[in-house]
A and B are shown apart, each in its own frame.
Chain A
């Protein structure tokens, strides 16, 4: 079995922990080889020549490409270490959740109605909660589709969408207090963002990194995002067969 070469993202462990129901021990452990792991479901074989160091993520990448949620950058090339832009992510979550347009058109100065991304951005816009990410800011009227997506943005958007889809329930005050108490990195989080991060971590949507930090400003790679969305797809959206558990060697 290949081991993960980018230790900052523990792949499937948090989902397993969440599934097994142990929020107090839900912090990701730094030694993934000592725990049970979940392999991704067999998928259509999308073959990419640039996944050499991304064997762990490859099944998720294949799944996401096969389902049309993510697209190769060219034939045979996925660019797993490339960043995900806000515009990219809008198309992904629109496709993943089949999001429709909001009841009112959302106006962005830099996105015209003829823009290819217009529909996806419209669909994602109500879930962005940009103010949580930028507490104290007077926001611009731009969407900035080419800006790289951070873990914070992805977490908030996904938690919002999953809340709207009744896939997540908010934590009670006691649950949240307990979670923050048991998560040392929480003292570094912005107050308004804390409930989103807590819910994202607890549900396995966005796990802590290998050093038990959340690192909200860290940009997501395409490989990270494939794993992230594939996890959500399998756990919350598509009823699937139970994952195959593989015992560690």
Chain B
């Protein structure tokens, strides 16, 4: 697959037809524009123009309900590799992919495409933790009603789950229906999986509302749907699926109602959102955000985990990208005097007297900004770096330009409110300007520009400008010798070295076994939090004659950054036994920020174990019993969770069982735990089956300092039966 880019002149013959309520600063204009000749697997040469907004809503957040429709005998991986374990990995990969999308550079692409605006604010896709999260997960084992499936079968499937589970739906919820290998589907309006599509997103009316959904067949098994992926970081079948899934999800967010409310004379493209409608004689007409980059995969790192996703179209740069940002977002509220359709406006980003970027807020060809409306413009910073202490963003100069036709006078424009936010690639706010008035400013022909001071950008008292970094390092059972030295190298996201700090110089005293060292250094220059991406701790031996290289056990590392008296921002909080052993062959420990999950100190000891178990849709019968066998120092300890004489554990009930140990034990003493169901059948009674929905196991010191030991949930997490009565819990699995 090759990716070409060139420029052509695009005639925007249909411009006036499109109702543009607000525009991205890089919407297509009638002049030359960059476009991609994408000789892609999609099979068409794409003369690429940007997406246009058609005024409909977008999804700000996505609560993803997953329906894995996999009857017995079906798998997501074709035989012979297809089996239950592979199916579980497939589903887990998809679930993790969705849960990890929020607050990433990848998801940040979608923030370029705002939704509907009120007079004072606009909606927009959010890029924050949980912006996409998996809500309910269903496993449907019922047979497929026919082959090929029809779209109505998919809709019925979703409706059944909505009805049976009382699920909500609407513009913040999407249902994804996944099917097994080689399952075909036809959609009367659009074709079949066998000939036309690999997946689709759509909508249907239900109980007076809109249900947003996507049909996700197993693309690993469909010809022409593998996205050219021959290997991936997880499971090949799942990696191919997440690629197509990302296509559909991004399109759902930016155009959730692809068929609109209906055609009408006022807005024939009614209520759709972002797609390319620039020229019906262009091959890109009709494309949504994913279509322009169809089946062009990219490796993405989502919150520290590797996945494969499809690239998405960026209006900002008019090409396919796998991340976006840093960026600046403008929200401009017009007051009682509009910005005419034939006028344009810009925002100059200044660092002192120098303008380093000019952002087009409204181009001449765009619809007018009417009285009492708000328009949102998002654009990437150029060059793509955040403001620094050396090159701060100091001022924003907003300019009105009138393009008068014959006899027309200059435009006047009342700005009532102006917000400008500088965001890092993961959507974190770095600095912000927010001003209002009635009007804030009136720009005219004689005074077309006003300049606004951008306060503290980078923010010297917050995450934009951290001035101090603190290391707390605990040495374990192998010291750092007196003649050795240790450094910390701080690297930016682009890999450049920001600063090298000497933690211990060669001439300083050694760090003895089990000693703690608290060191504070200045960050020079101050850095925003987002710049502190990796910290490398390196041991250097300075061996005297006959001396061998030093080895150093690091038991724990805690690193924070701050701008005193502001609060400290956690960068690293990691521990182990040891966390790392640095040697001549492996002298460096690389720490990626942020990694601040609390880890119990290796010295902590526990004498109490607590099992918190939720039963799912199949109870634990009254005459059944359940036990847990926990290995402690290699010795099995038996705990009775439910005795035969105890009452049943009914469907959807929670049970908390606490057991004491005889002695305090370190975390390392605890091994696997096995939960076992035992049926005690009465006459003619069959074996009991038990669905475990979730298990949380905690260790504590007589209830103090509780520490997660195991944590898992599913639908169900595990089903225990007569033939498979046990489930094994691995230490620390699922714990933060």
- The stretch from B34-42, B127-135, B375-383 touching chain A is B34-42
Given contacts A142-B43, A192-B286, 11 further A-B contacts (CB under 8 A): A110-B224, A130-B43, A131-B291, A134-B191, A134-B197, A139-B198, A141-B225, A177-B268, A178-B265, A180-B265, A192-B277
User: When the two chains form their complex, are residues B263 and A138 in contact, meaning their CB atoms are under 8 A apart?
Assistant: no
Q: Residue A90 at the B interface, CB < 8 A? A: no
Q: Choose among B16, B224, B262, B269 the residue that contacts A172 (Cβ–Cβ < 8 A).
A: B16
Q: Which of B199-207, B608-616, B702-710 contacts A (4 or more CB under 8 A)?
A: B199-207
Contacts of A134 in B (CB 8 A): 190-191, 196-197, 200
CB-based contact B280/A180 at 8 Å: no
- Asked if B401 CB lies within 8 Å of chain A CBs, one says no
Question: Is B290 in contact with chain A by the CB < 8 A criterion?
Answer: yes
- Do residues B197 and A191 form an inter-chain contact, with CB atoms below 8 A? no
Query: Could you list 15 examples of A-B contacts with CB < 8 Å?
Result: A104-B4, A104-B37, A106-B43, A107-B43, A126-B44, A130-B44, A136-B248, A137-B191, A137-B198, A138-B225, A139-B43, A139-B294, A140-B223, A141-B295, A191-B272
Contact of A102 with B by CB under 8 A: yes
Q: State which of A125, A139, A164, A187 has its C-beta within 8 Å of the C-beta of B196.
A: A139
Once the chains are docked, how many angstroms separate the CA of A191 from the CA of B56? 12
CB distance A137 to B44 under 8 Å?
no
User: What 0/1 pattern do residues 199 to 224 of A give for CB contact below 8 A with B?
Assistant: 10000000000000000110000000
Instruction: Please report the number of residue pairs spanning A and B whose Cβ atoms sit closer than 8 angstroms.
Output: 178
Chain B residues lying within 8 Å of A106, measured Cβ to Cβ, are 39, 43-45
Q: Is the CB of A164 within 8 A of B281?
A: yes
Across the two chains, which residue of chain A brings its CB closest to B277?
A192
Given the contacts A104-B39, A139-B196, A144-B195, A192 and B45 also touching, CB distance less than 8 Å: no
Contact A196 B280, CB 8 Å, known A110-B223, A110-B224, A138-B198: yes
When distances are taken between beta carbons in the complex, the residues of chain B under 8 Å from A129 are 283, 285-286
| Minimal Cβ-Cβ distance residue in B for A182 | B265
Write the A127-158 contact mask toward B (1 if CB under 8 angstroms, else 0): 11111111111111111100100000000000
**A109 nearest in chain B by CB position:** B224
Q: Is the CB of A125 within 8 A of B281?
A: no
Say if the beta carbon of A186 comes within 8 Å of chain B.
yes
In the complex formed, the residue of B with least CB distance to A144 is: B195
Q: How far is the CB of B150 from chain A (nearest CB, A)?
A: 13
Contact among A109, A137, A172 for B223, CB-based, below 8 A: A109
Do residues B16 and A173 form an inter-chain contact, with CB atoms below 8 A? yes
Query: What's the nearest-Cβ distance from chain B to residue A151, in Å?
Result: 12
Which B residue's beta carbon lies closest to that of A198? B268
Instruction: Give 1 or 0 for each of B251-264: 1 = CB within 8 Å of chain A CB.
Output: 10001001110110
Q: Which residues of A contact B272 (CB under 8 A)?
A: 191
Kindly list chain B residues whose C-beta atoms are within 8 Å of the C-beta of A192: 269, 275, 277, 285-286
- How many A residues are at the interface, by size bracket? 35 or more
User: Which residues of B sit under 8 angstroms from A147, Cβ to Cβ?
Assistant: 191, 195-196
The answer to whether A98 has its CB under 8 Å from any CB of chain B is: no
Given A140-B197, A181-B265, A186-B263, is A135 in contact with B286 using a C-beta cutoff of 8 Å?
Answer: yes
Cβ–Cβ < 8 Å partners of B20 in chain A = none
Contact B251–A187 (Cβ < 8 Å): no
Q: Are B43 and A143 in contact (CB under 8 A)?
A: yes
Q: Tell me which residues across on chain A come within 8 A of B197, comparing CB atoms.
A: 134, 137-140
Find the A residue at minimum CB distance from B269: A191
| B190 with A126: CB separation less than 8 A | no
Across the interface, do A138 and B200 meet the contact criterion of CB distance under 8 Å? yes
Q: Is the CB of B44 within 8 A of A125?
A: yes
Q: Is the CB of A160 within 8 A of B39?
A: no
Q: Which of B35-67 contact A (CB under 8 A)?
A: 37, 39-45, 54
B14 is an interface residue with CB less than 8 A from chain A: yes
Q: B residues within 8 A CB of A190? A: 189, 259
B17 close to A126 (CB less than 8 A) = no
Q: CB of A236 within 8 A of chain B?
A: no
Q: Does B188 contact A (CB under 8 A)?
A: yes
Cβ distance B32 to chain A, nearest Cβ, rounded Å: 18
Residues on the B chain within 8 Å of A178, using CB? 265
What CA separation (Å) do A191 and B272 show in the bound complex?
Answer: 8
How close is B117's CB to chain A, nearest CB, in angstroms? 21
- In the complex, the chain A residue whose C-beta lies closest to that of B291 is A131
Known: A106-B45, A173-B16, A189-B263. A135 touches B190 (CB 8 A): yes
Q: Is the C-beta of A46 less than 8 angstroms from some C-beta in chain B?
A: no
Kindly state whether residue A103 has any CB partner on chain B within 8 Å: yes
The answer to whether A173 and B190 touch across the interface, beta carbons within 8 angstroms, is: no
Collect the chain B residues with CB atoms within 8 Å of residue A135's CB: 190, 258-259, 275, 286, 288
Question: Does any Cβ of B come within 8 Å of A195's Cβ?
Answer: yes
Chain B's nearest CB lies how many Å from the CB of A167? 11
Q: Assess whether B290 is in contact with A125, with CB atoms less than 8 Å apart.
A: no
Which residue of chain A has its CB nearest to the CB of B196? A134
B679 contacts the other chain (CB 8 A): no
Contact A138 B269 (CB under 8 A): no
Minimum CB distance partner of B223 in chain A? A142
Q: Say yes or no for B13: interface residue by CB 8 A criterion.
A: yes
Q: Are A217 and B196 also in contact (CB < 8 A) when A163-B280, A189-B263, A191-B269 are?
A: no
Cα distance A161–B732 when bound, in Å?
Answer: 62
Nearest residue in A to B246 (C-beta to C-beta)? A138
Measured between beta carbons, the chain B residues less than 8 angstroms from A127 are 283
- CB-based contact A107/B41 at 8 Å: yes
Considering the chains assembled together, what is the distance between the CA atoms of A192 and B259 in angstroms? 9
Q: Which residue of B lies closest to A173 (CB)?
A: B17
Chain A positions within 8 Å of B43 at CB level: 106-109, 125, 130, 139, 141-143
The answer, among A128, A132, A191, A199, for a CB contact under 8 Å with B263, is: A191
Residue from the list A131, A140, A141, A170 in contact with B13, Cβ < 8 A: A170
- Flag if B199 contacts A159 (CB, 8 Å): no
A217 to B200, CA, bound (A): 18
CB within 8 Å for A191 and B270 given contacts A105-B39, A137-B190: yes
B621 at the interface (CB under 8 A from A): no
Tell me if A96 counts as interface (CB < 8 A to partner B): no
Query: Once the chains bind, are A109 and B283 in contact (CB under 8 Å)?
Result: no
Are B222 and A132 in contact (CB-based, < 8 A)? no
Give CA–CA (A139, B287) in the complex, Å: 11
**Cβ–Cβ < 8 Å partners of A38 in chain B:** none
Question: Which chain B residues border A110 with CB–CB below 8 Å?
Answer: 223-224
Knowing A163-B280, A164-B281, say if A131 contacts B287 (CB, 8 Å): yes
Q: Chain A residues with Cβ under 8 A from B1's Cβ?
A: 107
Contact check, B244 vs A138: say whether CB atoms are below 8 A apart. Answer: yes
| Distance from B15 Cβ to chain A, minimum over Cβ atoms (Å) | 9
Q: Within 8 Å of chain B (Cβ to Cβ): is A117?
A: no
Minimum CB distance partner of B272 in chain A = A191
Whether B235 is near chain A, meaning CB under 8 Å from some CB there, is no
With A129-B286, A191-B272, A194-B263 in contact, is A140–B200 under 8 Å at CB? Answer: no
Chain A residues numbered 69-116 whose CB sits less than 8 Å from any CB in chain B? 102-110
7 tightest A-B CB contacts, nearest first: A173-B17, A140-B224, A163-B281, A144-B195, A137-B197, A132-B286, A192-B286
Q: Are B268 and A180 in contact (CB under 8 A)?
A: yes
Q: Is A176 located at the chain interface by the 8 A CB criterion?
A: yes
A163→B281 CA distance, assembly (Å): 6
Q: How far is the CB of B46 from chain A (nearest CB, A)?
A: 9
Those of B220-276 within 8 Å (CB) of chain A: 222-225, 244, 247-248, 251, 255, 258-260, 262-263, 265-266, 268-270, 272, 275
State the Cβ distance, B203 to closest chain A Cβ, in Å.
9
Distance, CA A40 to CA B265, complexed state (A): 37
Q: Is A137 a contact partner of B200 (Cβ separation < 8 A)?
A: yes
Question: B172 interface residue, CB < 8 Å from A?
Answer: no
Across the interface, name the chain B residue whose C-beta is closest to A193: B286
Q: Name the one of B188, B260, B265 contacting A217, with C-beta atoms under 8 angstroms.
A: B188
B672 at the interface (CB under 8 A from A): no
CB distance from A145 to the nearest CB of B (A): 10
Name A137's contact: one of B188, B199, B260 (CB within 8 Å).
B199
Assembled-state Cα–Cα distance A149/B275 (Å): 25
Distance in angstroms between the alpha carbons of A229 and B399 in the assembled complex: 54
Does the CB pair B280–A170 fall under 8 Å?
yes
Chain A residue nearest to B271 (CB atoms) is A191
